[in-house]
A and B are shown apart, each in its own frame.
Chain A
């Protein structure tokens, strides 16, 4: 599919040398780690609800102009910051009038600055929003792969591995809930297939997509059908790296790695698809897949590295592995098995940059793209991310 592949990160050759030297069984390490992660996930239960509310970063606010003005002026009168008093006054209990006057003098100037900034932010917000509106009128995908393809083919280079961070919105919102998330994911998948990107990683902090594979594959199938037509639905592969499970979407059915049918994706497909009635297995190895979709969650981040360390520590202690074998290349190899490859480009469909705990080992050289003030999964953002990527020069160290 993608003929020109420009390789940016190249760690493989080094690793292969090492593999010949090291005589231990490195398969063991990540297998064990995988088991540990799954175990700990089971013990913790589903912790979606706890972390559902997004932790706001001090770089963006959801408040309206009036609300933020209110907050600013309220904070002038009663500052809520505990450290502030310690910083400003020598003795908290015995504040001299002089100190208090100086404090409130500067604090009121700061409040004035905050106020000016909130006006500035309001202007900036309306300008960027208008810009996005115009851009989305100019670049429209029309759900047509040929248009997307034409757009992308103007670019000198595209990423081989694309990652995207999607946000779960609450069910009350428009386009929220699991359905909304599946729809967003399938949209990005369809754009990737249209532009010829074979690897897509979808990161969702709570790992909701991983738990709703049937819904997700259904959404993908429907989206692909809408984009590419009934006769021509691309085949896809859904991977959950830390469970080591792969699902295959072929001809409207969802199969596991042994080729057994799990369920029908599309109910209406009954009469068309002959295979779906019987128990005919499909030989997965002979199939060709247009896109590989990796699903990641917060577990794949710090926790995986911690678990891997535990496993390695045990193995070193029991003598299964030499301590000198714990090298950067070894960890890199293991994490590639556990989490997947390093993406070339991370597209965020959120108004500000927030990596939300994306696996830290894997964001080394990844280009990041987000559109300020945009909170929709829209084609403009996707296209502009690719355009930005095509102008970037990656030179490691030099």
Chain B
């Protein structure tokens, strides 16, 4: 019902222009505060959306893809450096073959569109990178994806990671495997193996970064094997009740706004808690004076 009303609004002349103006003002406002580096989305709820609205399953996924385009646009305009989205889990292969095919073809088309000339990738200078176990993918999709990756390789402002097909355990196993391989080839020593090395050996490779905010839509409060290593400490995890196709610009804005509010408080707080930095010169200056010796005459009851 909610989305129905907003859809109707779009047909009134001038509304979309006004909305565009509001959105760009909102973005400028948010830009003056702290901004997260890495956002991550689990796009959950497409099928439930289709079911609730009596739409075919395919339509649910299509609307989900549209929602993703909106969210990405918002994130990149605000200035979020990296965005990761969970497109397809390795476990999802157990779904019906038709549905898997639908998702695959949708992803293929949408990716091609994002990377085509003068679209999102060129506009914001976004590099597309697929993270996940590519050995599960059929040949034709793989070649398409690699083409997109190749085409956007030179962009350096933002990175869009697409988890496809991905599970976090697979990711951790991949890192382990790679580290063992490197150790075997004597590229690294035993002492080099630490958490940072792990961080750099995930599917993300050297682009890896801790997640600042992880959003899982549709209200399930579990991670479902997604970015476990990256978000089990020092990350904000949000579980909004919205279904993914209903997730739009304002939801993204609100999420980042809340983060930025609390971040401002933390930054200010740490500023107070820190001792003010004084240079050695100032310290010397302050303490060079001797203890004063001149004083008024003593007046005391004790005679001495």
With A302-B198, A309-B193, A364-B225 given, is the CB distance from A397 to B89 under 8 Å?
yes
Q: Say whether B49 faces chain A, with CB atoms less than 8 Å apart.
A: no
Tally of B interface residues using CB under 8 Å:
65
Would you call B269 and A114 a contact (CB within 8 A)? no
Q: A87-B31, A117-B258, A310-B193 are in contact. Are A328 and B170 (CB under 8 A)?
A: yes
A117-B261 contact, Cβ under 8 Å, with A81-B34, A323-B184, A366-B222: yes
Q: Is the CB of A317 within 8 A of B183?
A: yes
Contact partners of B16 in chain A: CB under 8 A: none
**B182 to A, closest residue via Cβ:** A313
Residues of A363-398 whose CB lies within 8 A of B? 363-369, 388, 392, 394, 396-398
Does B257 lie within 8 Å of A313, measured CB to CB?
A: no
B269 near A309 with CB under 8 A, answer no
Most chain A CB atoms below 10 A, which of B29, B198, B239: B29
Q: Shortest CB–CB separation between residue B279 and chain A, in angstroms?
A: 19
User: B223 to A58, Cβ gap below 8 A?
Assistant: no
Cα distance A118–B265 in the bound complex, in angstroms: 11
A368 to B216, CA, bound (A): 13
Alpha-carbon gap, A88 to B95, bound state (A) = 47
A103 to B31, CA, bound (A): 9
A81-B267 in contact (CB<8A) = yes
Closest A residue to B92 by beta carbon equals A397
The dominant DSSP class at the B interface is: helix
Residues of chain B within 8 A of A88, CB atoms compared: 31-32
Known: A61-B265, A309-B176, A313-B179. A358 touches B223 (CB 8 A): no
Interface segment among A105-113, A128-136, A154-162, A173-181: the answer is A105-113
A63 touches B269 (CB 8 A): yes
Neighbouring B residues of A388 by C-beta, 8 Å: 221
Q: How far is the CA of A57 from the CA of B222 in the complex (A)?
A: 19
B28 / chain A contacts, CB cutoff of 8 Å: 106
> How far is A58 from B184 in the complex, measured between Cα atoms in Å?
41
Q: What residues of chain B lie closer than 8 Å to A114, measured between beta carbons?
A: 33, 261, 264
Tell me how far the C-beta of B98 lies from the nearest C-beta in chain A, rounded to whole angstroms.
14
Interface locus among A70-78, A234-242, A252-260, A269-277: A70-78
A84 contacts B by Cβ under 8 Å: yes
Q: A59-B236, A83-B35, A368-B222 are in contact. List 12 more A-B contacts (CB 8 A).
A: A68-B265, A80-B267, A110-B33, A301-B233, A309-B180, A317-B183, A331-B172, A353-B239, A358-B232, A359-B232, A364-B225, A365-B222
Whether B261 and A75, one on each chain, are in contact in the complex, defined by CB atoms closer than 8 angstroms, is: no
Interface residues of B in 161-186 (CB under 8 A from A): 168-170, 172-173, 176-177, 179-181, 183-184
Instruction: Tell whether A46 is near chain B: CB-to-CB under 8 Å.
Output: no
B275 on interface, CB distance cutoff 8 Å: no
Please measure, in the bound complex, the distance between the C-alpha atom of A398 and the C-alpha atom of B237, giving whole angstroms: 23
B228 within 8 Å of A (CB atoms): yes
Q: How large is the interface on A (under 10, 10 to 19, 20 to 34, 35 or more residues)?
A: 35 or more
Q: Do A326 and B91 have beta carbons less than 8 Å apart? A: no
Tell me how many residue pairs across A and B have CB atoms closer than 8 Å: 183
- B residues less than 8 Å from A211 (CB atoms): none
Contact with B along A45-61 (1 / 0, CB 8 A): 00000000001111111
In the complex, chain A residues 333-370 whose Cβ is within 8 Å of any chain B Cβ: 353, 355-361, 363-369
User: Residues 193-211 of chain B: 1 if any A CB is under 8 Å from the residue's CB, otherwise 0?
Assistant: 1110010000000000000
**Residue of A71, A313, A316, A326 touching B264 (CB-CB under 8 A):** A71
Which of B33, B198, B260 is close to A306, meaning CB atoms less than 8 Å apart? Answer: B198
Query: Which one of B89, B198, B228 contacts A363 once the chains associate, using CB atoms below 8 Å?
Result: B228
Contacts of B198 in A (CB 8 A): 302, 305-306, 309
A59–B232 alpha-carbon span in the complex (Å) = 15
Residues of the A chain whose Cβ atoms lie less than 8 Å from the Cβ of B260: 58
Within the assembled complex, what's the spacing in Å between the Cα atoms of A397 and B33? 38
Question: A332 on the interface (CB 8 Å rule)?
Answer: yes
Residues of A within 8 A of B235 (CB): 57
Q: Which residues of A contact B223 (CB under 8 A)?
A: 363-366
B95 CB contacts on chain A under 8 angstroms: 397-398
> Among A83, A314, A316, A368, which residue has its beta carbon within 8 angstroms of that of B221?
A368
Expressed in whole angstroms, the Cα–Cα distance for A356 and B235 within the complex equals: 9
Pairs A–B under 8 Å by Cβ, sample size 15: A58-B266, A81-B33, A88-B31, A113-B29, A301-B233, A308-B176, A309-B198, A323-B180, A355-B233, A357-B233, A364-B224, A365-B224, A368-B221, A397-B90, A397-B92
Q: Is B282 an interface residue (CB 8 A)?
A: no
Cα separation A79 to B264 with both chains bound (whole Å): 9
Residue from the list A56, A71, A313, A397 in contact with B93, Cβ < 8 A:
A397
Known interface pairs A364-B225, A398-B94. Does A106 touch B31 (Cβ–Cβ under 8 Å)?
yes
The answer to whether A303 has its CB under 8 Å from any CB of chain B is yes
User: Does B2 reach chain A (CB closer than 8 Å)?
Assistant: no
Q: How many angstroms from the CA of A147 to the CA of B216 in the assembled complex?
A: 36
Q: Is B268 an interface residue (CB 8 A)?
A: yes
Closest to A331 in B: B173
> In the assembled complex, how far is the CB of residue B94 from the closest CB belonging to chain A, in whole angstroms?
5
Asked whether A60 lies within 8 Å of B229 as measured between CB atoms, the reply is no
Using known A-B contacts A323-B181, A331-B176, determine if residue A310 contacts B190 with beta carbons closer than 8 Å: yes
Which of A80, A306, A308, A392 is within 8 Å of B194, CB to CB? A306
Query: Which residue of chain B has the shortest Cβ distance to A392 in the bound complex?
Result: B220
Chain A positions 204 through 231: 1 when the CB is less than 8 Å from some CB of chain B, otherwise 0: 0000000000000000000000000000
